[in-house]
Amino acid sequence: MRAHAKLCSATLCMLLAASAALLGCTQSGKGQSSSTNSDDAISTEPVRLTVFKGQAISDDEWDQLLVQPLKKKYPHITLEPLSGNLADIITSGVVPDLLTQANSYATDFMAYDLLMDMTPLLVKHKIDLKRYDPVYLDALRVLSAKGELYGLPYSGQFNALYYNKDLFDRFGVSYPKDGMTWDDAIALGEKVTRNDGGTQYVGLSYEHISRLSNSLSPDIVDMKTEKANVNNELWKKVFELANRINAIPGNVTTKNDEFIKERRVAMYGTVNLLTKLPDAVTNGLRVGIAQYPSYKEQPNVYGSVDAHYIMISKQSKHKDQAMQVIDLLMSDEVQRISTRKFARLSPLQDNELKKQLAADIKAFEGINISSIFKSKPAPAPAFSKHYREARKILEAKFVDYNTGQKDVNTTLREIDEAINKLIGNAK
């Protein structure tokens, strides 16, 4: 693994040397970004930009949010999507011009020295950051040493409590209400968790332990000290809450399929399911959407900031054209398509736009989704470059406590030890 890292580092050194002379330079031409009033015109010569799809985007979204808008406004710019293992891509000699990723995994790019402070470029192109909800910008700035801004958000996540109306009707229990705490949700879950007709129905599923923790903005690894940060009262509180939910006789946490396809989960607390539900709703799933349960000391908070970002790599030779792509993606017109058709929550500070969420998805006609907007995200923690692997350790070892094999204090201590060992071996 270390040899592989050295290979990647050597490859990047050569690429950096080759591109250094071109950094900040553009060719003259007629085309300009809609936000650019720079004296230096941006080249309209044909250019192909590579885009690493670290964050999933469907073929339809790719076409309607990127390809078609570019054909209309910047026909000289085409995009080449890249997916797969980033290390393999870079080792092959290709450094993407654009990168997409969630803020929780954006530090993956630091190992390859891809990230740059986009602030000078944003100033040059006169990008108005006041259009953006600042919580999304802060979630990326917290990853940098000096508050640099590595990219811009193009869509935000949200949490909601989805529920199966038929199960509540079947068992004669009132539907979930907005404003519930986790204590309220557990009490309600107890009423609809049962074995009926040979089928085990789950009253309340929180998806996984990390999702349940997010409202408290915990980190797993302290980004500054690069030490595990799990053996504490905050994580103990989360573990004990999860265990209380799973202690309901017959109740287990689940994934999407048990709620959407098997229809045996009464309440499912998770992120945006609006693009996954239409077929099931069309085929008879009577779904309701309530406000995500909150910790009693943090009402109306549904998780920490979880957003999808698009960034320009430090090594790109076409930074201005890449900025034009981002500017177009974040235009009112494209964001409206993203919001209405693809049910992506816009990071823009436009409440009217947010209210159009999923407006063009026919399956949601008559389904009230306004509860989503009654909660806000908590600030995002600073995610370490070790977060991805450390989270796997945390979720795997939580099972030891949740199944009664170990007590909570022992489990938290062992998680810290395992994560610190992981970090030590990575150095």
What pLDDT score was predicted for residue 1? 41
What pLDDT score was predicted for residue 24? 37
Residue 21, exposed/middle/buried by CB under 10 A (0-12, 13-18, 19+)?
exposed
Residue 258 and residue 128 share a domain: no
What pLDDT score was predicted for residue 427? 78
pLDDT tens column, 281-290: 999 999 999 9
Asked if the model's pLDDT at residue 39 lies above 70, the reply is no
Domain containing 69 equals 2-157+306-354
What CATH number is attached to the domain comprising 84? Answer: 3.40.190.10
Residue 295 and residue 189 share a domain: yes
Give me the DSSP letters along 297-349: TSTTEEEE--EEEEEE-TT-S-HHHHHHHHHHHTSHHHHHHHHHHH-PBP-BS
SS3 of residue 59 by DSSP: helix
Phi, psi of 33 (to 5 degrees): -65, 150
Q: What is the mean pLDDT of residues 276-301?
A: 97
- In what side-by-side order are the strands of the sheet with 287-290? 194-196, 199-205, 265-270, 160-164, 287-290
Do residues 126 and 42 touch, judged by C-beta distance below 8 A?
no
Q: What is the mean pLDDT of residues 299-317?
A: 97
Classify residue 372: in a domain, yes or no: no
Residue 170 and residue 150 share a domain: no
Residue 144 and residue 22 share a domain: yes
Residue 395 and residue 419 share a domain: yes
Residue 325 and residue 257 share a domain: no
Residue 271 and residue 179 share a domain: yes
pLDDT tens column, 214-229: 999 999 999 999 999 9
- pLDDT band for 41, please (50, 70, 90 cuts): confident
Q: How many CB atoms lie within 10 A of CB 221?
A: 27
Q: What is the mean pLDDT of residues 193-215?
A: 97
Number of domains in the chain: 2
Residue 253 and residue 235 share a domain: yes
Residue 149 and residue 117 share a domain: yes
What pLDDT score was predicted for residue 25? 36
Asked if the model's pLDDT at residue 105 lies above 60, the reply is yes
pLDDT-above-90 percentage for the chain? 89
What pLDDT score was predicted for residue 19? 37
Q: What is the mean pLDDT of residues 262-281?
A: 97
Asked if the model's pLDDT at residue 195 lies above 70, the reply is yes
Residue 113 and residue 62 share a domain: yes
Name 116's Cβ contacts closer than 8 Å, sequence gap at least 6. Answer: 148, 150, 312, 313, 314
Q: What is the mean pLDDT of residues 312-320?
A: 98
Residue 203 and residue 145 share a domain: no
Classify residue 153: in a domain, yes or no: yes
Classify residue 371: in a domain, yes or no: no
Classify residue 422: in a domain, yes or no: yes
Q: What is the mean pLDDT of residues 303-313?
A: 97
Classify residue 115: in a domain, yes or no: yes
Query: Which one is predicted more confidently, 4 or 290?
Result: 290
Q: What is the mean pLDDT of residues 92-115?
A: 96
Classify residue 368: in a domain, yes or no: no
Residue 152 and residue 30 share a domain: yes
pLDDT tens column, 375-407: 999 999 999 999 999 999 999 999 999 999 999
pLDDT tens column, 144-176: 999 999 999 999 999 999 999 999 999 999 999
Classify residue 14: in a domain, yes or no: yes
Classify residue 108: in a domain, yes or no: yes
What pLDDT score was predicted for residue 200? 97
The amino acid at 92:
S
Q: Tokens 């790719």 label which residue?
A: 62
Asked if the model's pLDDT at residue 303 lies above 60, the reply is yes
SS3 of residue 395 by DSSP: helix
